[in-house]
Amino acid sequence: MIIELPDTTTGAVARALVQVRDEGGAVALGRVLTLVVDAADGDPEPAIEAANVASREHPCRIVVVCRCGSTGDQLDAQIRVGGDAGASEVIVLRAGPELLGHADTLITPLMLPDAPIVAWWPYEVPEEPSSDPIGVMAGRRISDSLACANPLDSLRGLRAAYAEGDTDLAWTRLTVWRGLLAAALDQPPYERVSRAVVAGNDVHPSVPLLAAWLAQALRCPVDLELSADAQGVTSVRLDRESGPIVLDRPDARVATLHQPGQPDRHIAMPLRTLTECLAEELRRMDPDEVYGEVLRDGLARVGVA
């Protein structure tokens, strides 16, 4: 069910939510968090779709703020519940730049009481997420440097402005890579890695982040092999005395793990979807300390900072 509220106020939106719950029982109260999505000038629908699917694992209230061509100080709202909102309730606020300049006061009446707040910027990232009006309210702040116009510049900006609670979906896309590489190194022989090579797309922020993680964790030189035609990360080679460990994914679908003295293993490893990454980040409310170390120190080790 979709309820349109043109030229309204957030107080009226909050009253409409209560009315929907009282009259139809369509909105449950068992929400574990409030997810605030700042779509700015971008299309909010892909973000809403991803959040709806993620909400089936993490029931939440989704508050979306966007400009969507709005000007002046008029606020148009939309409430989505039931089949149009997954396991959540979605409030879409379309406002002009004057109102969005005070987005914190705009969305405060719609926050769930005693529930953590997560902020997500699906497109461009603020210069300092932790100081953004919405970011100040949130315990967790999710960016996506890959979706920015200049992904590597955005990654450097996130490094310069990092604060506890920040994370980047470019880092979340590496979870499977990091798990497989850590598992491979956790088997005998337990030899030191003398050098690592990470290959992938030349503007994909996950590539330098993976290299930075390896440099930070293994304290070894890490080289980057970049290509404009690659899809994300394509391969990682870890050189050891007994022979290299190679995790290769040339087609962005199936990866092959080569280890000395062992048969090759083929692993289904498609590119992670936006929904998968968002759902993973919503599982934790504590700061991602490893990401912070990689961002602050690891990027400098691979010359990306």
Q: Which CATH number fits domain 175-268: 3.10.450, 1.10.3470, 3.40.30, 1.10.3210?
A: 3.40.30
Are 125 and 27 in contact by the 8 Å Cβ rule? The answer is: no
User: Which of helix, strand or coil describes residue 301?
Assistant: helix
pLDDT at 13: 94
pLDDT at 226: 97
Are 295 and 162 in contact by the 8 Å Cβ rule? The answer is: yes
Q: Give the whole-angstrom CA distance, residue 262 versus residue 183.
A: 14
List average pLDDT for each run of 10 residues in the chain, which is 305 residues long. Answer: 90 90 62 92 94 91 86 86 75 88 89 93 96 95 97 97 97 98 94 97 98 98 97 97 97 96 96 96 95 97 90
Are 282 and 35 in contact by the 8 Å Cβ rule? The answer is: yes
pLDDT at 85: 64
pLDDT at 29: 53
Are 233 and 271 in contact by the 8 Å Cβ rule? The answer is: no
Neighbour tally for 300: CB within 10 Å: 14
- Please enumerate in sequence order all residues whose Cβ is within 8 A of that of 161, keeping only pairs 6 or more positions apart, or say none: 127, 128, 129, 130, 131
Q: Give the whole-angstrom CA distance, residue 235 versus residue 226.
A: 11
Buried b (16+ CB within 10 A) or exposed e, 263-298: eeeeeebeebebbbbbbbbbeeeeebeebbebbeeb
In the chain, ranges of CATH 3.40.30 domains: 175-268
If we measure between CA atoms, which residue out of 114, 111, 113 comes closest to residue 93? 111
pLDDT at 24: 63
Q: Give the whole-angstrom CA distance, residue 40 versus residue 302.
A: 33
pLDDT at 69: 67
pLDDT at 255: 98
